[in-house]
């Protein structure tokens, strides 16, 4: 092949592969756009508020963050906007025993956060988080809870214990506690943890006997 032929082959070949590269890049970018909707100014402002108050110190998004509080990836699918706004500005006005502190979020900041939550809820996460986790997270305040679950929530047990990934870590995980303890142990331990576990750091459960029994029933279902 002559020099000229080689040069032409080089130029044509380079252009050909560059064209393929461009076509594939546009194709990928097109798909990415479909995976995540457009980022508006409100969404961006909401992300800033999310960082400003260090929400990730307690919550997770896309599974990253802290496991003290529910995951926020799909929160705007399970909660109406008015609820979210009121809860974020003053958690106790929605849930008297809320573990989330009143952070001083303004009305505008709450609107931005909601835009941010709306945006992340639309990101295609391939079905994540799985429904059982969503259901547990959504269980906060839900009417479908069993009597024992309601007592568990109202007494703030999840501040110290984790069930199926949700809760605090001061006490042992309770996801399978029903395999480990029987009814009598549970009830006795609730009334006076020290009798069962010397120097227990768990506070006595101060609740009517009926509630303590419901709580034990609930624990026994955790297997
Ligand atoms: C100190 C820990 C903590 C921090 C910080 C925190 N949260 Fe929470 N949050 C919680 C807990 C715990 C809950 C579960 C309900 C409850 O008991 O308060 C919750 C619940 C929520 C809910 C209601 C979820 C539902 O499904 O009902 C929203 C919305 C929320 N938080 C948003 C935020 C945002 C936004 C921030 C940051 C501006 C934030 N949280 C910071 C602990 C926290
Ligand atoms: C201040 C943190 C705290 C709170 C609140 C708390 N616990 Fe505990 N819990 C602990 C600690 C620490 C232990 C481990 C010591 C012990 O077993 O007594 C424990 C142990 C347990 C155990 C035994 C687990 C095992 O594997 O042996 C059960 C069951 C339990 N807690 C249920 C509850 C329930 C239900 C509530 C709500 C009424 C509750 N806890 C509230 C800290 C707490």
Q: How far is the CA of 203 from the centre of ligand 1 (A)?
A: 24
pLDDT above 90: residue 88? yes
pLDDT above 90: residue 145? no
**CA–CA separation, 21 and 15 (whole Å):** 10
Per the CB < 8 A criterion, the answer to whether 73 and 129 are in contact is yes
Q: Which residues, including other chains, have CB under 8 Å from residue 196's CB and lie 6 or more apart?
A: 185, 188, 189
Q: What pLDDT, on a 0 to 100 scale, did the predictor assign at position 183?
A: 96
Taking the CA of 49 as reference, the closest ligand is 1
Among 19-28, 48-57, 74-83, 169-178, top mean pLDDT goes to 48-57
pLDDT above 60: residue 30? yes
Cα 75 to the chain's mean position, in Å? 8
**CA–CA separation, 73 and 63 (whole Å):** 8
Q: Which residues, including other chains, have CB under 8 Å from residue 120's CB and lie 6 or more apart?
A: 61, 62, 72, 73
Is the CB of 200 within 6 Å of ligand 2?
yes
Sign of the Cα torsion 65, 132, 112, 41 reads positive
Q: Which residues, including other chains, have CB under 8 Å from residue 11's CB and lie 6 or more apart?
A: none
Report residue 14 as tokens: 């380079």
* Model confidence band, residue 131 (pLDDT cutoffs 50, 70, 90): low
Rounded mean pLDDT of 48-75?
Answer: 91
* Model confidence band, residue 126 (pLDDT cutoffs 50, 70, 90): confident
Q: What pLDDT, on a 0 to 100 scale, did the predictor assign at position 136?
A: 56
* Model confidence band, residue 133 (pLDDT cutoffs 50, 70, 90): low
**CA–CA separation, 140 and 76 (whole Å):** 14
Is the CB of 99 within 6 Å of ligand 2?
no
Rounded mean pLDDT of 24-30?
Answer: 83
Is the CB of 169 within 6 Å of ligand 2?
no
pLDDT above 60: residue 137? no
């Amino acid at each position: 092949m002559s020099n000229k032929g080689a040069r032409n082959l080089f130029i044509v070949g380079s252009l050909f592969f560059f064209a393929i590269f461009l076509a594939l890049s546009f194709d990928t970018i097109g798909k990415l756009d479909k995976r995540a909707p457009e980022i508006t100014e409100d969404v961006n402002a909401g992300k800033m508020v999310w960082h400003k108050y260090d929400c990730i110190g307690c919550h997770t998004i896309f599974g990253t963050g802290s496991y003290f509080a529910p995951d926020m990836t799909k929160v705007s699918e399970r909660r109406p906007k008015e609820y979210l706004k009121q809860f974020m500005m003053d958690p106790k006005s929605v849930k008297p025993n809320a573990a989330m502190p009143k952070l001083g979020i303004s009305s505008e900041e709450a609107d931005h956060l909601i835009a941010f939550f709306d945006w992340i809820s639309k990101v295609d996460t391939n079905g994540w988080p799985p429904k059982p986790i969503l259901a547990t997270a959504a269980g906060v305040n839900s009417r479908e809870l069993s009597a024992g679950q309601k007592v568990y929530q109202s007494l703030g047990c999840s501040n110290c214990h984790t069930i199926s990934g949700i809760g605090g870590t001061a006490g042992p995980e309770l996801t399978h506690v029903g395999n480990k303890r029987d009814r009598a142990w549970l009830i006795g331990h609730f009334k006076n943890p020290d009798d069962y576990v010397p120097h227990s750091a768990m506070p006595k459960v101060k609740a009517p006997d009926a509630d303590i029994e419901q709580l034990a029933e609930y624990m026994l279902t955790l297997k």
